Structure 1
Amino acid sequence: MSANIRQQVLDAFAFRHACKSFDTEKKISEDEFNFVLEAGRLSPSSFGFEPWKFVVVQNPEMREKLKTVTWGAQGQLPTASHFVMILARKEADMHFGADYIQQHMREVTMLPEEIVEMKAGFYKQFQTADFNLTESPRAMFDWSCKQTYIALGNMMSVAAQIGIDSCPIEGFDREALEVMMAEEGLYDSSRFGVSCMVAFGYRENEPFPKTRHAQQDIVQWVN
């Protein structure tokens, strides 16, 4: 990779910040937002099982309802060009015996039957022994949520590379939000839960300079 490309990537990371409100006069184009969504869709996940769904909320009335249970997006919900709720799959879909897992291996990745059986065995071992994910539905859901953050990070990073601002959001009442979403018919609560949210748009104000720990303070080499 050339030094110029490396610098462009680092510049995008320096550009990105948690934007608290957006310029309502500027909207992200359809092509550019599809690019951001593709970054999420193509993100890696454990065993490649894609435990996520992206709900893009553009309806103004629905955004107003979300404000009542989303204290961390009071400035973003009314002003963002695009607002996304990222859902994570629950145990019903992610358990090693779930229909979703079998369907994914056979119909999405189209694995040969002998590979399906081998991968299923590894997946069962991983869930029951290595990570103890079958000990509770919450353990399984939290594992799915962790993976959605890979997609979240990729979406925000590629957005920054094309000059689009973003803000990740965890400030919400999950129980109240999920009740509201079920009442609105926005998702199947037996299969999904809300992992996080993210707002996209164009900044209204310039942020403070970015601060981080020095690399030598957070990186340990084992040679």
Structure 2
Amino acid sequence: MATKPTFNKEEILNAYQYRHASKEFDKTKKISEDDFNFILETGRLSPSSFGFEPWKFVVVQNEEIREKLRAVSWGAQKQLPTASHFVVFLARTKDSLAPDSDYIQGMMKDVHDLPNEAVEGRGKAYRNFIENDFELTKYDEQMFEWAARQTYIAMGNMMTSAAMIGIDSCPIEGFDKEKAEKVLIEEGVMPEKGFSLACTVAFGYRLNDPRPKSRQMLESIVEWI
């Protein structure tokens, strides 16, 4: 059983203040293997609906693939060539998230280690959820969008954990999705079916100090009733 964490709230908030979307990194500085495995582990431990983990994290260190992605990523022109690590976040699509798919059945039986009766019960609940509660099966893209929203949870956790150990990051949606996916498929990074590109994130060490952080006041975004 995990022990109850005792983090200092000021230190945690300091990490949030420190974090910013770095547009360019110091290419002479590399994240250690131990530190990046820590970041990946915080993604792995992230929550997901039904615990089905509808994501895959692909760490792209190959410079040729990075350059091909750069050609179709207007928002990563400085990050791709300078980041220590560049992660492509893939989210699962409709076929692989169907209740009777090999993936979902494998998650319940092999990962969650559920007995057969529990697999049947959870499968029914999951089917009702995607077909009726959230109506995710009406259009093909809806299942991917639902999976992508969960993938962003893991992505956010990874960026926060990076900031807590002094590592910078930048989430990037500035790319031509169709062309970027074509690159990923041609390079064998993403299968033709089962996944789609959700987002990318560059990790490294900032080259320049950012402007002061600007956010709305808490009372502007929170309502108590």
Consecutive unaligned residues of structure 1, counting only runs of 5 or more, are none
- 1:100 is matched by which residue type in structure 2? Y
* Inter-partner Cα distance in structure 1 for 2:36 and 2:65: 20
Task: State the partner residue of 2:105.
Answer: 102
Q: Distance in 1 between matches of 2:139 and 2:193?
A: 15
**Structure-2 residue corresponding to 1:50:** 53
C-alpha distance in 2 between matches for 1:91 and 1:62 = 27
Could you tell me which amino acid in structure 2 is paired with residue 121 of structure 1?
A: K
1:152 maps to which of 155, 164, 169 = 155
Equivalent residue letter for 2:130: Q
Q: Which residue of 1 aligns with 2:15?
A: 12
The offset of 1:115, in angstroms, is 1.1
Runs of 4+ in 1 over 6 A off after TM superposition: none
For the residue of structure 1 that corresponds to 2:170, the secondary structure is strand
Mapped partners of 1:179, 1:65: distance in 2:
10
CA distance in 2, matches of 1:218, 1:162: 28
The AA in structure 1 aligned to 2:134 is F
Matched, 1:113 2:88: no
For 2:116 and 2:224, the matched residues in 1 are separated by 41
Q: State the distance in 2 between where 1:50 and 1:189 align.
A: 19
Q: What is the TM-score when the length of structure 2 is the normalising length?
A: 0.96
**Is residue 85 from structure 1 mapped to residue 85 from structure 2 by the alignment?**
no
Which residue in 1 is equivalent to 2:29?
26
Deviation larger for 209-218 or 149-158: 209-218
Aligned residues: 221
Counterpart in the other structure of 2:132: 129
Q: Does 2:181 correspond to 1:203?
A: no
Mean alpha-carbon deviation: is it higher for 150-159 or for 177-186? Answer: 177-186
Per-residue deviation, 1:136? 1.3
- Indicate conservation of the 8 Å contact 1:57/1:83, yes or no: yes
* Corresponding residue for residue 142 of structure 2: 139
Q: Report SS of the residue matched to 2:202.
A: strand
Question: Cα distance, 1:97 vs. partner?
Answer: 2.3
Matched, 1:74 2:77: yes
**2:167 corresponds to:** 164
How far residue 117 of structure 1 moved from its aligned partner, in angstroms, is 1.0
Separation in 2, partners of 1:101, 1:86: 19
Deviation per residue, 1:80-107 (Å, 9 max, x gap): 0000000001111112221211111000
Cα distance between partner residues in 2 of 1:216 and 1:177: 39
RMSD value, Cα: 1.1
Tell me how far apart the structure 2 counterparts of residues 159 and 18 of structure 1 sit (CA, whole Å): 12
> Secondary structure at the residue paired with 2:8?
helix
**Structure 1 residue 15: Cα displacement:** 0.2
